[in-house]
Structure 1
C-alpha cells in the first residue's frame, strides 16, 4: 500500500493504524509487558506523548536503554517509519484526529453481520442499503439533537464559548471546551510585539515543553507550534491563551471549519441521475437451482438403499424423460 500511494497519490500522507501497531507490539514484545513492567505505557508515550521531535528521539532512546531492546528487529523496523505513527511527525498532516482504521472496521463489522455463503448479489445490496439507511437515520438524529439541545457552558461568561456553542456540533464543542479549560493551565512566558505581529512563548503547569504562538492582529491569523488547528481543525489551548491575553473576544471566522458546525450538511448536492437496475433473471434462476438441488439428491440417497426403491425410481425417471422427449 505504501509503495502504491507514493506512485499513484503522492500528495497524500500515509499513516499507520495505531491500534494495529499496538497489537503487533504485544505480539512481538509480550514478554516485556509482564508483571510490573511499564514498557507498554512508555511505548504509548512515544506514540502520543511527545509534541517535539527532539523529545521523541530522547524518549525513544530511553525506552531502548531501559528495557535493553536496542537490537530488537521489530522495534528497529517500527522506528524506521516513525513519521507514520508518532504524534510529533503527524503534525505535518491534516488527520482530523484519526489515528486508526476504526471507522472502516466499524462499517466492515456492520456488513459482516449479515453476510453468509448463500447470499446472492441482489440480496447483498438489499441488506447493504438497509445498513446505509440506518447510518443515515443516525446522522439525521444527531443533527436534530445538535440543533435542539443547548450545550452546557462551563464558563457562561466567556464570549468565545458562547460564540462557538452556537456553531459547533455537540461533540466538537466539548473538544473545544476542553481546550478552553486547559488554557487556564497555560501562561505566557515571554511576549514580543512588533507592530501588529505578536510572538509568544507559552508554557503549561506540570507539563514539559514550550509552545511558540505567532498572532497577526491585523489579519487575525494565528499559528501555534503544536499545529492543533492544522491537524485537527480546532484551535489549541495555547492559541486561546494568547487570545485571552490580547483581549480577543471571538474566534476568527477562518478558524471555524464548516465541517465541524451544525450547518455542515446544509449545502445541497447536485442531482445524480440513476438508472433503474433490472434484476438479473439468470441470477434468480441460479438461486432457485441452488435451493432445489439438495431435494432430489435426498430422494436419490434414499432410493439407493435397496434394489426395490432403486428400480422404482429408475422406472419413474425413465417414464418422465420419455414423455419429456
Structure 2
C-alpha cells in the first residue's frame, strides 16, 4: 500500500458481513469490526475467531502483518495477522478486508486488532516495507520492534536489478549471503560496500533507499529481538505462509470465506498431527548427554530436532577460555578449521547465564551451539530454566499467558463484552485443567462451580442495576461498551464464610485420616518384614531363561504365553502408575519369572546349571530394556537363581489392577518391591536394612 486509495466491496462486502454476524451469534468470542457506520458493508472489515485469539495468548510474541494480498475482482487488499505455534507452523491471528488504504485506516485496523487481543502488544512485528504501515505501527505499537520482510525486499530487488541478475548470475547468491550470514555490523558494512563497488552500484537509488532503512530488515541489526524464527532463512519465505495455496490473485471476495475456512481447518489438522507425533513417538538421541534427553522430553519434535542439531555441532566447536574474572568467564568458540568465524561467549557461573555474540537465543528462542559448547566445558549437564522458552515446549498451551498483562488493560478494554468473555474463558480453562487432575479435586471443583452459579444467578436477579445499556461501535453489534462503569459488591455473609471454613476443615481432616491409614499400613508391613527376615530361605532351581550375552536379539523365554490382550492391558495400566522406575521393573520381572538377585551376589556367584533349550520367540520388551544389560552383562556362563512362581504373581497383579483404584495399586506395588528388596539384601548380602532406608 503506497497511497490513500478508496475502493468498494459491492455485494461481496455484504456477503462477508453476513458471515461474520452468523459466526459472532454462534460464539460471542468471535470478534469482528467494521470501520464506518453501523452495518455498512462498504467500509474496512476486520475479524478474528475465538481460537485465533486464544492462540495469540500463547504465541503472540512475534507477529507477521501481511498487506500484499489482492482479490482479483475488486483489487481490495486482504490483510492478515499471523505468527508461529510451538511446532514452528503458521498460526492465524486475524484478517481484514481493506477498502480504504489511508494512514488513518491502517491505524484503525491495528488498534482494533489490539483491542481484540485484550490489549497485549507483541514483542516484534514484521510487515512489508511500506511507509504508511511504518507510521501506523509506530503509533499503535511504540514499544514493539518493527521489521521489514526480507522476502518482499528480495522480490523487489529482482525487478529493480533485473539487468544485473541476467549479466551476473552470482550476484543474488552474494547479496543474500551478505544479508543473512554476516554476524557483526562492521562485517555487513564492509560486505555491502564491497558488493556495490564490485558491481558498480554506488549510484543505485533503490539500493541506497534500502541501505537507509537497513536497521529494519538486515538481521545483524535486529538479533537482540525475538522474531520466532527457528532458521536464518525463514524470514525470506514471505508473510503469507498461512494462506499460501489458499488465497491468490484470482480469489474473489465470495470465494474468500470458503478458502479462509479451508486454510484454518487444514492448518488445525497439521497442528494435531504434529502434537500426536510429539507425544507418541520417541526421537532418536545422538549423544549420551542428559541435556539431550531433557530437551527431547521438553520440546516439541520440530524444536527438539533444531536443538539436537546445535548440540551435535558442539563436538566440532570447542570452547577455549580467553578471560576469567571470577564469576564471569569469556570463551572463544570456533569450528575446527574456521578460526576466522569465531564467536565470543561470556558465562556467569553464579547466575548460570551465558551470552553469545551470534545472539541466536535472543532472536529465535533456541540456544546456540556456541553456548552449548561452553556448557559442556563447564560441565553443565542440563539446560538452565532461563534457556527453556515455554512457547517452544510441549506444554506451551497449558496455563494462561495473559495473567501478567491483565492488570495493564485499560478500563475501556475491561468494559468490552468480548474482552470480558475472553478473560473468563482463559480462567475457566485453567480451572478445568486443575480440576480434572484427580477425583477428589474434581469433586471440589464441581462444588465450587455450583456455588459460583448460584451467586451469578443471585446477582442477575437483583435487577437492571447489574447491567447497563451500551452503545454499538465499529459496526456489527460485536463490541458493546458500557455507558458507565458499574461497581458491584461481592457480598458474602458471616454464616456463608463459617460454612465454607467448616467444609474445608472437614475436607482437610478427612485427607489427614486417609494419610494416617496409609502410613499405619506401611509401618505394619515394614515391622512384619523386619520380624520375618531371619526366617526367609532360598530354594535354588535350574534357570528357565537363556540369555546369550553376545547378541541381545536372541534372548528367548521358555514357557507358554498368557492372554496377549490382557497382558497388553495390564502393562499399559502399570506403566501409567506414578511409582519409581525400579518398582515398575520389579513388577514386570516378577510376572515374567525374571527377578535377578542383587548386583553383588551376581558378581560372587557363578553356579552351573543344565542348558535350557528356548521354545519361544524373543519378546522385544526383554532385550530392549536397559536393565537387562546392566544385570546380565556381569555374568559369564550360566547362572542358577531362585525360582519365582510368575504365573501366580501375574494373576495377583491382574486381579489387583481390575478391582482396586490406581492409588491402592501404587501402594501395593511399592510395598511388594520393599519386601522383595529387603529379602534380597538379607539373603544375598547379609544386610538387614532398617525400614527408613528401604526406599533410598
So what's the TM-score if we normalise by structure 2?
A: 0.36
1:241 aligns with 2:373: yes
1:219 aligns with 2:362: no
Q: Evaluate the alpha carbon distance shift between residue 130 and residue 19 of structure 1 in structure 2; reply closer, same or farther with a 3 A threshold.
A: closer
Deviation (angstroms), 1:267? 2.5
Q: Following the alignment from structure 2 to structure 1, what is the Cα–Cα distance between the partners of residues 260 and 184?
A: 44
1:175 aligns with 2:306: yes
Deviation (angstroms), 1:158? 1.6
Q: Following the alignment from structure 1 to structure 2, what is the Cα–Cα distance between the partners of residues 73 and 127?
A: 40
* Residue 425 of structure 2, aligned match among 267, 271, 290: 271
Deviation (angstroms), 1:87? 1.8
Q: Give the number of aligned pairs.
A: 268
Contact 2:311 2:369 in 1 (8 A): yes
Deviation (angstroms), 1:84? 1.8
* Residue 47 of structure 1, aligned match among 159, 162, 179: 179
1:160 aligns to what?
291
2:328 aligns to what?
197
* Residue 106 of structure 1, aligned match among 242, 246, 268: 242
Contact 2:317 2:335 in 1 (8 A): yes
1:9 aligns with 2:145: no
Render the CA deviation track for 1:98-140: whole Å, top value 9, x for unaligned: 5256453432642559954656xxxx65764454233223212
Contact 2:150 2:238 in 1 (8 A): no
Q: Which has the higher contact order (CA 8 A, sep 6+)?
A: 1
* Residue 61 of structure 1, aligned match among 181, 189, 193: 193
* Residue 80 of structure 1, aligned match among 167, 191, 212: 212
1:316 aligns to what?
none
| Residue ranges of structure 1 left out of the alignment (5+ in a row) | 274-325
So what's the TM-score if we normalise by structure 1?
A: 0.75
Q: Following the alignment from structure 1 to structure 2, what is the Cα–Cα distance between the partners of residues 21 and 165?
A: 37
Q: Evaluate the alpha carbon distance shift between residue 189 and residue 117 of structure 1 in structure 2; reply closer, same or farther with a 3 A threshold.
A: closer
| Residue ranges of structure 2 left out of the alignment (5+ in a row) | 1-132, 401-421, 429-696
Q: Following the alignment from structure 2 to structure 1, what is the Cα–Cα distance between the partners of residues 254 and 177?
A: 47
Deviation (angstroms), 1:160? 1.4
Deviation (angstroms), 1:41? 1.0
Q: Following the alignment from structure 2 to structure 1, what is the Cα–Cα distance between the partners of residues 313 and 285?
A: 15
* Residue 315 of structure 2, aligned match among 160, 181, 184: 184
Structure with the higher helix share, 1 or 2: 1
1:148 aligns to what?
280
1:135 aligns with 2:267: yes
Deviation (angstroms), 1:142? 1.2
Q: Following the alignment from structure 2 to structure 1, what is the Cα–Cα distance between the partners of residues 164 and 260?
A: 43
Deviation (angstroms), 1:175? 0.9
Q: Evaluate the alpha carbon distance shift between residue 149 and residue 70 of structure 1 in structure 2; reply closer, same or farther with a 3 A threshold.
A: same
* Residue 231 of structure 1, aligned match among 358, 363, 368: 363
Q: Evaluate the alpha carbon distance shift between residue 137 and residue 267 of structure 1 in structure 2; reply closer, same or farther with a 3 A threshold.
A: farther
Q: Following the alignment from structure 1 to structure 2, what is the Cα–Cα distance between the partners of residues 5 and 116?
A: 28
